[in-house]
Structures are given as structure tokens and as C-alpha cells.
């Protein structure tokens, strides 16, 4: 298992669209992926639990990956969290 601390950069924090994109990204890997924020942890494939973490812009979160492709998986998720997506129509 490996982990990395990243800072949420999206001004809206982790919102519904971000949670959906994270889940989609997590499902592309064989490794299990989790997000930890303020002592709570959620599987990145569970959008509702990820939203329930309430991660906001500037929060430091811990991304954990465990499996055969854990390095690639961790890099992909960390990139999503530190590079917010453009809003719809933007």
C-alpha cells in the first residue's frame, strides 16, 4: 500500500461532478483506492461516501492505493485532485 497527501485545489472542493470523475478514474485500475479526510476514509468508487467526507478547497487529503498498479492509480487520482475540471460549458 502506498499513499500521498494532496491539497484540494478546486474552489468548490470535492463536489458531485468531481466525485463521479474520481469514481470513474478509480474503476480503471485494479488497485483499491481510498480517500481520507479529517480522520474519515471512503473508497473512491463510492461517490456518496467521497462526497460525505466534505473535502473543501485547501484541505489536505490522503490518497491511498493498494494493488498491482497502485503507483499509476495514485498518480492519476492525485492529478485529478490537484487539477480541477472545467465547469460545464466552460
Q: Which listed residue (4, 15, 17, 56) is catalytic?
A: 15
Whole-angstrom Cα distance, residue 65 to residue 45?
Answer: 12
Q: Respond yes or no: is residue 83 known to be catalytic.
A: no
What is the spatial distance between Cα 67 and Cα 60, in angstroms, rounded to a whole number? 23
Determine contact, residues 28/83, Cβ cutoff 8 Å. no
Please identify every residue annotated as catalytic.
Answer: 15
Amino acid at each position: 500500500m502506498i499513499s500521498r497527501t494532496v491539497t484540494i485545489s478546486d474552489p468548490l472542493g470535492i463536489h458531485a461532478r468531481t466525485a463521479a470523475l474520481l469514481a470513474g478514474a478509480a474503476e480503471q485500475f485494479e488497485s483499491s483506492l481510498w480517500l481520507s479526510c479529517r480522520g474519515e476514509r471512503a473508497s473512491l468508487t463510492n461517490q456518496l461516501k467521497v462526497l460525505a467526507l466534505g473535502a473543501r478547497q485547501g484541505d489536505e487529503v490522503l490518497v491511498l492505493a493498494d494493488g498491482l498498479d497502485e503507483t499509476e492509480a495514485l498518480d492519476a487520482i492525485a492529478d485529478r485532485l490537484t487539477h480541477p475540471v472545467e465547469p460545464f460549458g466552460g
